[in-house]
Chain A
Amino acid sequence: MLIDETHKKWRDFSLVFLLVATAFYCWYPMRPPQGRNGGSAVGIAFGIIGSAFMVFAGLLGARKKFPVWRLGPAQTWMRGHLWLGLLSLPLILFHGAFRFGGTLTTVLMVLLVIVIVSGVFGAVLQHYMPRMMTREVPLETIFEQIDSVRAQLLEEADKSVAAVCGPLGVMAVGSRKLPAGGYSERGGATPAAAAAATPALALTEEDSAPLRSFYLRQMRPHLEKPGAGDHPLADPGKASGIFEELRKRVPPMVQETVEDLEDICEEERQLRRQARLHHWLHGWLLLHIPVSLALLVLGAVHAYKALRF
């Protein structure tokens, strides 16, 4: 989420609230004999407000589960999640008077710090990375559809090459299992081979050999297993050189096909980049959300026990 001027009210409110809470924290030990104490009236008040902020921040997940409920704009919930969640840390520190207390309270403080730190980290990423994504991945797609798009890119590449080189003798796109012996350059060697297309251009076997060889030996394995990061086609500079070399070796009539293949490689690289950026952009949630849930559950137990004892 972009932290811009639309956050001004929340930011100002949070700052004022923090200042008032800090002033109160400094003042209140003058009154009760025990000094700053989580069990004093003011200490409990800090705890209740801090917990309420944490619960509100936690409700963002529930709000997302029911997007059609008329509970206010999701943007507002997100801003509240950010700022009130952030405020909960100083309030809980004031509640405990900067003491971690016993085992449960120590665990709670550690969890809270993890949640806040991971949340701030995530907020910073969410502020900067979407713009980076737009800039670096113009062909961005839905993250969950990346594998599907890759399969379509492979199919697209297969068709392009088959159109000029004839049947490739590779497995049909969509069946993701590779033959044990790999792909046949001439087709027909693999029993399951099904990818076939009627060549639109009648190239001799000699003319099509460089393209077929390049595709089946280098490009198709790269599209099939994009995880191999050290592949030459994964590097834009090396890929450009490879395709430049290929252009010199193929007849002029298949130059467009080569450009198609180059575009497909470029899109594949963008998908790789998107996947990497997506992992950064959302990976922190694997820590933030589970720890938040544990924090809320243990916090409820702490509240019960503390009020009772």
Chain B
Amino acid sequence: MARFTRTTKKLAQRIDLQYFKRSSPFRRWRFLLSVGLTALAVVWLAWQTLARNNRAYSSGQMATAHSLLATQCAACHVSRTGVFREHATNQACLECHDGPLHHANQVFAPDCASCHVEHRGPVRLAATSDTNCTQCHGSLQAKGGSFSFAVDRNIEGFHSRHPEFAALRSGKGDSGTIRLNHSVHLRKLRVSPNGPEEIQLDCDDCHRTPGDKRPWRFGETPSDRDEAQLRTAAMEKPDPLRPNPTRAYMAPINYSKHCAACHLLQFDTKKRFTEGVPHGKQPREIHEFLMNKYQGHIANHPADLRTIPMPDQNLTGKPASPLAQNLSPPQWVDEQVAEAEKILWRKTCNQCHTLSFPKGASLPEVAPPNIPVKWMLHAAFDHNAHRMMTCTSCHAGATTSQLTSDVLLPGIQNCRQCHRPVLDAAESRCFECHTYHDWSKEKPVKGRFTSQELLHGIATFPQPRDAEPGQR
């Protein structure tokens, strides 16, 4: 018999020309899966809608501070009749955070959400992007404002084109009037408050934050009242980014704690008194103190009126008077006070304080100390955050500084070593040092939500109140 040859014609004749009209399993599965998966997606969305859960549509996790509102979209996304968009409004933010104006001279008022961007995960909303700041402060624009110093007009951030700190930029030096030689104090000293022994002072023997409760090595532990006095107005200023202001800045130098142990204010050459003159008083008060001291002494020791010059105290080389002097008590007091004041005004007080002697005045004038508490007036700094470092790693000039006018504030390059805009580096964005809302002017906010509303849904959003345009 003839073989079944497989010609093209025979092969073609095998094909049922109507085959495409019938469904194949492959097409059927494709259709079923397409419809099924799409239906599944629609059912999921419908379920979310029925459950009134809009969380699925969130563009990202809420910031930690707002995590309670993650399912309460209406708390921020306010619905208005006739308006399609329901973006978070300033009004919604102001319901809880009625903060003050950002800047009186700001050239425009950005929306809250333009700087504090939500749905970016558990981040700190206060940590705004540098571009939020540099859009105005990059060239230091201000509404009709001008600036007293010339800086780069295109500041990109701390890392780039930020001007040097003002205290270093001005070249004026330290405005303090207390004479202090850091170099001398940081060398080994041969005399300690306990007598002749060699000691080495550390920076924290004099410089500590008010919150530091450790006992002083060469001074008295301050009382709470002293602590309160040490806090200056600048340090008391609320700072939203500084949770513990009492550890942020160094307390001003205080004579009784930092100096008195070594620098006694003795005034009597014959050492008839154990205490020195009181510190912190004006020359007139010192004068009265001395008068009272010597008047009291001569009343109890009238024999001292007969003064005999001591040969060993005569350093003039002239022959001493062989006769003893008999003085009246007022004369004796005046003589002793004059002698004491000579020591104080020329040596003891003058060693640290700047004294001036106006013409015709019998007493000097003491210049105010003017010790700066905050060197960076427009920025915040926290010594406590840097406590793991040695003082001289930043204040390197302290060991060699001999003049009061030396500014020992480290320069911006020193900070940039650690504060860099890269991973594994310290924060370097603007907000790290610069606050942008003056929270001391914060307005009181009246709470509007109940805990049940926050936990289970906010049915209606509070009516808009008279929010001032450009509040931020």
- Interfacial residues, chain B to chain A (CB-CB below 8 A): 1, 3-4, 6, 11, 14-16, 19-20, 22, 24, 26, 29-30, 33-34, 36-38, 40-42, 45, 55-61, 73, 77, 84-87, 110, 114-115, 117, 119-120, 128-129, 131-132, 135
Q: Which of A34, A139, A289 contacts B6 (CB 8 A)?
A: A139
Q: Which of B29, B40, B45, B59 contacts A306 (CB 8 A)?
A: B59
Q: Is A200 part of the contact surface with B, judged by Cβ < 8 Å?
A: yes
A286 and B27 alpha carbons, distance in the complex (Å)? 9
A163: B residues at CB distance < 8 A: 1
Give the total of A residues in contact with B, Cβ under 8 Å: 55
> Given known contacts A101-B119, A102-B56, A102-B57, is B40 in contact with A286 (CB within 8 Å)?
no
Which residue of chain A has its CB nearest to the CB of B120? A99
> Given known contacts A30-B131, A259-B3, A289-B34, is B15 in contact with A102 (CB within 8 Å)?
no
Q: Which one of A141-149, A170-178, A213-221, A225-233 contacts B? A: A141-149
A105 and B4 alpha carbons, distance in the complex (Å)? 61
Give A182-239 interface residues, CB cut-off 8 Å to B. 200-201
A39 and B22 alpha carbons, distance in the complex (Å)? 48
Within the complex, what minimum Cβ distance (angstroms) separates B406 from chain A? 40
> Given known contacts A102-B57, A289-B34, A290-B34, is B6 in contact with A297 (CB within 8 Å)?
no
Q: Is A35 part of the contact surface with B, judged by Cβ < 8 Å?
A: yes
B1: A residues at CB distance < 8 A: 160, 163-164, 200-201, 256-257
The majority secondary structure among interface residues of chain A is: helix
Q: Is A294 part of the contact surface with B, judged by Cβ < 8 Å?
A: yes
Q: Is A37 part of the contact surface with B, judged by Cβ < 8 Å?
A: yes
> Given known contacts A34-B114, A35-B129, is B26 in contact with A309 (CB within 8 Å)?
no
B117: A residues at CB distance < 8 A: 34, 37
- Interfacial residues, chain A to chain B (CB-CB below 8 A): 29-35, 37-39, 99, 101-105, 139, 141-145, 148-149, 152, 156, 160, 163-164, 200-201, 256-257, 259-260, 263-264, 267, 282, 285-286, 289-291, 293-294, 297-298, 301-302, 305-309
A259 and B15 alpha carbons, distance in the complex (Å)? 24
* B38 pairs with A297, CB closer than 8 A: yes
Which residue of chain A has its CB nearest to the CB of B23? A144
Instruction: Indicate the member of B4, B26, B110, B120 with the most A CB atoms within 10 Å.
Output: B4
Which residue of chain B has its CB nearest to the CB of A199? B1
Within the complex, what minimum Cβ distance (angstroms) separates B83 from chain A? 10
B45: A residues at CB distance < 8 A: 298, 301
A37: B residues at CB distance < 8 A: 117
* B14 pairs with A152, CB closer than 8 A: yes
Within the complex, what minimum Cβ distance (angstroms) separates A195 from chain B? 16
B110: A residues at CB distance < 8 A: 33
* A308 pairs with B14, CB closer than 8 A: no
A202 and B135 alpha carbons, distance in the complex (Å)? 103
* A38 pairs with B59, CB closer than 8 A: yes
Q: What are the 5 A-B residue pairs with the smallest beta carbon separation, nearest first?
A: A102-B58, A290-B33, A33-B132, A290-B37, A305-B57
* A290 pairs with B38, CB closer than 8 A: yes
A71 and B114 alpha carbons, distance in the complex (Å)? 45
* B60 pairs with A293, CB closer than 8 A: no
> Given known contacts A142-B19, A149-B14, A290-B33, is B60 in contact with A102 (CB within 8 Å)?
yes
A259: B residues at CB distance < 8 A: 3
Within the complex, what minimum Cβ distance (angstroms) separates B29 from chain A? 6
B132: A residues at CB distance < 8 A: 33
A39: B residues at CB distance < 8 A: 59
B22: A residues at CB distance < 8 A: 144
A264 and B56 alpha carbons, distance in the complex (Å)? 59
Within the complex, what minimum Cβ distance (angstroms) separates A128 from chain B? 20
Q: Which of B15, B29, B41, B77 contacts A309 (CB 8 A)?
A: B77
* B60 pairs with A308, CB closer than 8 A: no
A164: B residues at CB distance < 8 A: 1
Which residue of chain B has its CB nearest to the CB of A102? B58
A119 and B381 alpha carbons, distance in the complex (Å)? 55
